[in-house]
């Protein structure tokens, strides 16, 4: 398999964690987002959205969108499971993951911030926008798991929720958000980052890290 990504991409970070948890080896292919390499014709032929990650299977099939990739990996390599067996808990985990991947991350990603700069917003306002998006999203996530047993987001095992949470907290810190306001999220993050699969997937551990 080949994973097209970028060290700082939180969506790529999620998939790296999943691959590590499943013990799957891949070839990592980096596309420098700040240099626009994701918009090169050769990459657009792989993912017409011009986004990372994209995963090429051993059979040459291409998958895009991090949550779709992770759920596919979970289905073909079911151990350890990344979604609970109980339908209600599974829905809760998916809802938490989507709160980050669909409603928080997209409005503070590079594409949006670049557009805000193009529209004339000064750098400090662009950063403030990204910080606001992270605070709002993470505040909701803190409430979503307030009553859930730990130490992870949903119980004593890492799930899809944790794969989304850890990269998003990294983003929040990068934009200057005081994450001490989210003690339940930090508890889950600490449990996750103690695992080798999460630690090895961290941005600063990647070959293309700057």
> How many angstroms separate the CA atoms of 199 and 170, rounded?
13
DSSP state of 35: G
Does the reported pTM lie above 0.95? yes
> How many angstroms separate the CA atoms of 202 and 51, rounded?
19
pLDDT on residue 184: 98
pLDDT on residue 53: 98
Tens-digit pLDDT profile for residues 139-182: 999 999 999 999 999 999 999 999 999 999 999 999 999 999 99
pLDDT on residue 39: 97
pLDDT on residue 29: 98
Average pLDDT, the chain: 98
Name the band, by pLDDT with cuts 50, 70 and 90, for residue 201.
Answer: very high
- Across the range 10-30, mean pLDDT stands at 98
Reference 169, options 126, 106, 105; nearest CA is 105
Q: Looking at the domain covering 87-198, what would its CATH class be?
A: mainly alpha
pLDDT on residue 11: 98
pLDDT on residue 63: 98
Residues recorded for the chain: 210
Cβ atoms of 61 and 54 closer than 8 Å: no
Domains of the chain by residue range:
2-80, 87-198
Name the band, by pLDDT with cuts 50, 70 and 90, for residue 207.
Answer: very high
pLDDT on residue 36: 96
Cis peptide, bond prior to residue 151, ω within 30 of zero: yes
pLDDT on residue 180: 98
- Across the range 84-100, mean pLDDT stands at 98
pLDDT on residue 146: 98
pLDDT on residue 118: 97
> How many angstroms separate the CA atoms of 141 and 112, rounded?
22
**Superfamily (CATH) of domain 2-80:** Glutaredoxin (3.40.30.10)
Angle between helices 160-174 and 123-144 in degrees, nearest 10 = 150
């Amino acid at each position: 398999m080949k994973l097209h990504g970028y060290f700082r991409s939180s969506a790529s970070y999620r998939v790296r964690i999943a691959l590590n948890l499943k013990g799957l080896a891949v070839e990592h292919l980096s596309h420098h987002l700040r240099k626009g390499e994701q918009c090169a014709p050769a990459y657009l032929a792989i993912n017409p959205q011009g986004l990372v990650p994209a995963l090429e299977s051993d059979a040459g099939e291409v998958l895009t969108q991090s949550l779709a990739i992770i759920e596919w990996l979970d289905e073909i390599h079911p151990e350890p499971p990344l979604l609970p067996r109980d339908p209600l808990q599974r829905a809760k985990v998916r809802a938490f993951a989507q709160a980050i991947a669909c409603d928080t991350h997209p409005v503070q990603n590079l594409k949006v911030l670049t557009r805000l700069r193009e529209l004339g917003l000064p750098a400090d306002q662009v950063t403030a926008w990204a910080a606001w998006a992270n605070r709002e999203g993470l505040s909701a996530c803190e409430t979503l798991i307030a009553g859930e047993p730990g130490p992870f987001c949903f119980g004593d095992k890492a799930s899809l929720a944790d794969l989304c949470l850890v990269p998003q907290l990294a983003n929040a810190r990068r934009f200057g958000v005081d994450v001490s306001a989210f003690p339940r999220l930090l508890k889950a993050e600490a449990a996750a980052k103690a695992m080798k699969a999460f630690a090895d997937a961290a941005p600063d551990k990647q070959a293309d890290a700057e």
